Structure formats: structure tokens, C-alpha cells
Structure 1
Amino acid sequence: MAVVFLLYVIAEVAAVWAVASLIGVLPTLGVLLAGAFLGSWLARREGGKAARAFLTTARSGKSPHAEITDGMLVGVGGLLILLPGFVSDVLGLLFLLPPTRAVVRRAWLRRAERRAPLGYPRHRGVVIVDSEVVSEDGPRQDSPPRVIEG
């Protein structure tokens, strides 16, 4: 994980250096600030859309898996946009824009389905429900425990 973070930092520094050498230092800072403001506006807008879509789907009784994933991806995209740097801005835009977010969502859900267990394990045998039978008068000591055999 530390190697990935180091590579990310190197890529960010290289991208900022390249842009600054092309347009200058102050315009580069301006572009970074404009990207942060534009990205935060876009994240707020897309987050609101994702929340409304979630509520609509949940009220209709359908499973809101796609809407939950969209909301999560919008949150990650907004976080990436607010980080300073061009690489994180591009990645954040991929998570914020609806067409690319749909592609990322499908890939994410496919990966989650592959990694998810296929079903709950099935246990066969005897399950003891309780160890004493309780009546209105209190516990009865003469009754055996209830048992459900599977």
C-alpha cells in the first residue's frame, strides 16, 4: 500500500510540474483551485441526484444497490476532487460523471459478486431452542427442552 501511495505522489508531482512548466506557476494554481470549486459543485449536484434516486427506488420497494453504489462513488469522487493535484482530479471526475460512473459501478458490482460467498452455509443437525419451558406460573422443571431437528 505504501508503494501505491508513493507512486501516486510521484504522479501528482510530475503532473503539476509538467502543467506548471507549460503555463506557469500562478495559472497552474488557478487551474487547481478552479478544478476544486468546479468539482465540489459537481459532487454536490451528483450527490443530490444519487440521494433522490435512492429514495425513489427505496420507496418503490426495489433493491437500491445501484443507487447506493452511485452515492458511494460520488462521495469518493468528491474526495478525490478536493485533493490537490491533476491525477486525483481526473480520477474524481471519472467517479462523478454519470457515464463513466456507470462503467465503474458495473465493474465494481461484478467484482463484488465474484468475491461474495455463493450462499449461507447449511447446517444439519439438532438445534436447541431453549433449555426450559416457561408457563404463566414460571419455569416448569418437569418438561424437557424443546428441540428442532434439521
Structure 2
Amino acid sequence: MIKIEDFPEPVIIIVVVILILIVIGIIIGCVYCCCCRQRKTNTKRRTKAGSVKRGKRVRTSNTLDLHGHSVKGAKRSVNKFLKNKKQERGRSNGSKTLAIIPGKGNHSPDGRAVLKPAILKHLRKYGYKCRKDPQNDGRVLVDRDYYDIV
């Protein structure tokens, strides 16, 4: 049987240091993993509630962010969003417009917007009065008087 006394002292110290580093790595990895998992859960919860915090801004339930959607998925999300807004209209907070954020297209392969033209065309097809936001090129505004048509 091998005894600890059979090994030279530097080897024992190295093994102990390695074991301590492994334990610290496991603890840090576990904490990070739990925090990461909790962060994702909270983001999903906030997204379902209609308010997502990004950076210093808080987007309210009158805003729909379409970043990362395909054109088909974005159209589906817009329809669902507008349907929900139509149902909420009676208890509205007085907002004159809804904001839909398809983005500027910076993350598209060719750098051109794909979602914004598709969403504008989709909204106009169904009679919504919408326009590009003059202050933010990656945002589309839908006028309140027109978002309860469909």
C-alpha cells in the first residue's frame, strides 16, 4: 500500500494545491452556472410579462422586440402582439403608439435590414398606419387609432 510519507514533500504540496484549485474551480463553476441559469429564467419571466430590461432602458409592454426572429416568426409575433394590444385597449395607459423593434439589420449577413421592410409591408397589408421612427432607424411605430383594425 502506498503511504503519503513515501512521496517527497514538494510532490505532496503540488497535489494539495491542485486539489484546492479543482475544488475552487468546481465552486466557482457551480456559482456561475446557477447565476447564469437564474439570469436566463428571470429574462424569460420578464419577457413574458412584457417588460425586458436591456442596458439602462426598460421596454414597456407597448414595445415588441423582434431581434433574432425570422421573417415568418416576426410576423407571427407581431400578429399576436397586436391582438393582445387590441384586447388591452380598454385599459390602456394612454400611450398614443406601439413600438415594434425589428432592428436596423446590423446583424444580417449583408448588413441590410430584412425584418423592417417585411414588417412594414405586413402591417400596411392589413391596414395599419405605421411609420419608421424618425429618432431610431431600427424601430417602427404603429399609431394607436389604427392598431385595433384586425
TM exceeding 0.5: no
Name the one with the larger helix percent. 1
Q: What is the TM-score with the length of structure 1 in the denominator?
A: 0.28
Name the one with the larger strand percent. 2
